[in-house]
Amino acid sequence: MQLYEYKVVPAPNRGEKARGLKTPADRFANALASLMNELAREGWEYLRADTLPSEERTGFTKRTTVYHAVLVFRRALTETAGDDAPRKLLTAETPAGKAPPVRLESEHAAPKLGAPEPDKTPSGPVRAPSEAATSDS
Answer yes or no: is pLDDT of 102 > 90. no
Residue count (the chain): 137
Please check whether residue 98 lies inside any domain of the structure.
no
Closest CA to 5 of 35, 34, 41, 47: 47
Look at the chain and report how many structural domains it folds into: 1
Element (H, E) at 41: helix 24-41
As a whole-number percent, the residues of the chain with pLDDT over 70 amount to: 57
Amino acid (1-letter code) at residue 53: P
Please check whether residue 53 lies inside any domain of the structure.
yes
Residue 74 banded pLDDT, cuts 50, 70, 90: very high
The answer to whether the beta carbons of residues 47 and 36 sit under 8 Å apart is: no
Closest CA to 4 of 51, 48, 44, 52: 44
Please check whether residue 113 lies inside any domain of the structure.
no
Answer yes or no: is pLDDT of 123 > 90. no
Rounded Cα–Cα distance for residues 72 and 74 (Å): 7
Please check whether residue 89 lies inside any domain of the structure.
no
Rounded Cα–Cα distance for residues 73 and 37 (Å): 12
Please check whether residue 69 lies inside any domain of the structure.
yes
pLDDT averaged over the chain? 79
Average pLDDT over residues 33-50: 95
Please check whether residue 63 lies inside any domain of the structure.
yes
Rounded Cα–Cα distance for residues 114 and 129 (Å): 16
Q: What is the pTM of this model?
A: 0.54
Neighbours of 31 (CB within 10 A): 19
Please check whether residue 96 lies inside any domain of the structure.
no
Answer yes or no: is pLDDT of 17 > 90. no
Which residues make beta-bridge pairs with 65?
55
- Tell me which residue range forms the domain holding 74: 4-80
